[in-house]
Amino acid sequence: MKKAIVAVENLRIRFPTQDRRETVKAVDGVSFAVMPGETFGIIGESGSGKSTLGRAVVCLLKPTEGRVLHGGTDPYTLSSRALRLRRRAFQIIFQDPNAALNPRMNMLDSIREPLDIVGEGTRAERDRIAMEMLERVGLRPEFGGRYPHEISGGQKQRINIARVLTVRPSLIVCDEVVAALDVSIRADILNLFADLQREFGLTYLFITHDLGVVSHVSSRIAVMYLGKFMEMGPAEDIAERPLHPYTQALLSAEPIPLPSSMRETRRIILQGEIPSPTNPPSGCRFRTRCPHAQEICATLEPAWREAAPGRFVACHFAGEVTGHPLSETRIKEALA
């Protein structure tokens, strides 16, 4: 069996609120392993803790409890020099293509910057690698001399991808990387991610709120709600046979561009909003919005159990409640 590239063990990350009187439980007990070469998707709404989790995986946030293991070792047990070397292998790209680019640096300098920091090779060698990556992400050499305000959002995101590639990472956390892009550009960038994965043997942790995107790119998906995983399994199973009522509601809420006659009219509309992570509901944290909630859901936190091989779920009634799978499945069934 292959060894996990990243293993997250019972991870908890807490922050004090601004007035320091309460604690935000951003990630509240999450365990999973990412295997080399796979794309592991994490889907969740704002406030679910998915970005915090992504940052913890690349050591931008220290666990309050639990561990993040990089290839079996806990990076926080390493010396700072060894940690810095290891960091190269675990990179992150963010949603806002502007945020990572210095407006006063031209693109070639921005792409080369990570290599400068690592301090590898001569300046000429680093320039050569940066140019190579610029070309690899589909931009012409003249882009090297341009500044962020002179290029489009999609091109900036290509630059951000080129930047992390220079240090030859093994895993890249992609945090909402296509959310700010127009539909047609989005497709191009997703294609680029797929090409690079094949070429460099990359592993992705793909964090997004977009179901269409996550189920297209991922091999496995975890669904996150208020700091915890609700469900995890192969992408196809999650998208077409969701077990958890939250996953079912998410899938059913996704607007699908289909003519009205082909669309499922019965939608699950969740009531209310995501509760505060400072004080999550007792028992199952989804119960306040769950259409199937029973008494037991308020008193007993559902266990994280393997409902079928490779399929994990935290719900007392998972599998018993009727789901509303994606309409394409419904159509397939109707056609069969």
Partner 1 sequence: MSASVDEVLLDVRGLGISFLMGGGAVEATRDVSFAVRPGERVGIVGESGCGKTITGLSLLGLLPAATSRVVGEAMFEGENLVGMPLSRMRHVRGRKISMIFQEPMSALDPVFTVGQQIGETIRTHFKVDKKQARERSIEALANVGIPSPARVHDSYPHQLSGGMRQRAMIAIALACEPRLLVADEPTTALDVTIQAQIIDLLLELSGKNGTALLFITHDLGVIAETCTRMITMYAGQVVEDAPVDTALVRPLHPYTSGLLRSLPRLSARGAVLPSIAGRVPTLRDMPTGCRFAERCGHRQEACEAPQVIETLEEHRVRCWRHGELVLPGALTDREAAA
Report the alpha-carbon distance of residue 178 to residue 160 in Å, rounded: 12
- Minimum separation from the CB atom of position 252 to partner 1 (A): 8
- Minimum separation from the CB atom of position 206 to partner 1 (A): 12
Candidate list 12, 136, 209, 324; residue touching partner 1; CB under 8 A: 209
Interface map 232-261 toward partner 1 (x if CB under 8 A): ---xx------------xx-xxxxxxxxxx
Applying the rule CB under 8 A, the residues between 270 and 299 that interact with partner 1 are 270, 273-274, 289
Q: Specify the 3-state DSSP secondary structure of 222.
A: strand
Stretch that binds partner 1, among 101-109, 128-136, 213-221, 315-323 (CB under 8 A): 213-221
Hey, which bits of the chain come out as E strands? 6-16, 23-34, 39-43, 65-70, 90-93, 171-175, 203-208, 220-225, 228-234, 305-308, 311-313
The bridge status of strand 39-43 relative to strand 203-208 is: parallel
Tell me whether residue 306 is exposed, middle or buried, using C-beta atoms within 10 angstroms of its C-beta: 0 to 12, 13 to 18, 19 or more: exposed
Applying the rule CB under 8 A, the residues between 19 and 58 that interact with partner 1 are 45-46
Report the alpha-carbon distance of residue 284 to residue 299 in Å, rounded: 8
If binding is defined by CB under 8 A, does position 212 make contact with partner 1? Answer: yes
Instruction: Give the closest residue to 87 by CA, choosing from 27, 164, 15.
Output: 164
Applying the rule CB under 8 A, the residues between 112 and 171 that interact with partner 1 are 152-153
Tokens, residue 221: 């998906």
- Minimum separation from the CB atom of position 66 to partner 1 (A): 27
If binding is defined by CB under 8 A, does position 224 make contact with partner 1? Answer: no
DSSP assignment of 50-109 equals: HHHHHHHHTTSS--SEEEEEETTB-GGGS-HHHHHHHHTTEEEE-S-TTTTS-TTS-HHH
Q: Which is nearer to partner 1, 115 or 159 (CB)?
A: 159
- Minimum separation from the CB atom of position 272 to partner 1 (A): 8
Q: Which is nearer to partner 1, 86 or 216 (CB)?
A: 216
Report the alpha-carbon distance of residue 163 to residue 143 in Å, rounded: 14
Applying the rule CB under 8 A, the residues between 64 and 93 that interact with partner 1 are none
Candidate list 187, 298, 307, 321; residue touching partner 1; CB under 8 A: 187
Report the alpha-carbon distance of residue 103 to residue 65 in Å, rounded: 38
Q: Are 265 and 324 in contact (CB under 8 A)?
A: no
If binding is defined by CB under 8 A, does position 315 make contact with partner 1? Answer: no
Report the alpha-carbon distance of residue 102 to residue 204 in Å, rounded: 25
- Minimum separation from the CB atom of position 106 to partner 1 (A): 20
Candidate list 74, 132, 182, 199; residue touching partner 1; CB under 8 A: 182
Q: Are 164 and 153 in contact (CB under 8 A)?
A: no
Stretch that binds partner 1, among 10-18, 98-106, 169-177, 209-217 (CB under 8 A): 209-217
Stretch that binds partner 1, among 91-99, 102-110, 184-192, 302-310 (CB under 8 A): 184-192
Hey, which bits of 148-268 come out as E strands? 171-175, 203-208, 220-225, 228-234
Q: Specify the 3-state DSSP secondary structure of 318.
A: coil
- Minimum separation from the CB atom of position 192 to partner 1 (A): 10
# residues contacting partner 1 (CB under 8 A) = 49
Distance of CA 113 to the CA centre of its chain: 25
If binding is defined by CB under 8 A, does position 183 make contact with partner 1? Answer: yes
Q: Which is nearer to partner 1, 121 or 310 (CB)?
A: 310
Q: Which is nearer to partner 1, 9 or 135 (CB)?
A: 135
The residues that touch partner 1, with contacts defined as CB under 8 A, are 45-46, 152-153, 182-188, 190-191, 194, 209, 211-213, 215-217, 235-236, 249-250, 252-263, 267, 269-270, 273-274, 289, 326, 328, 331-332, 334-335
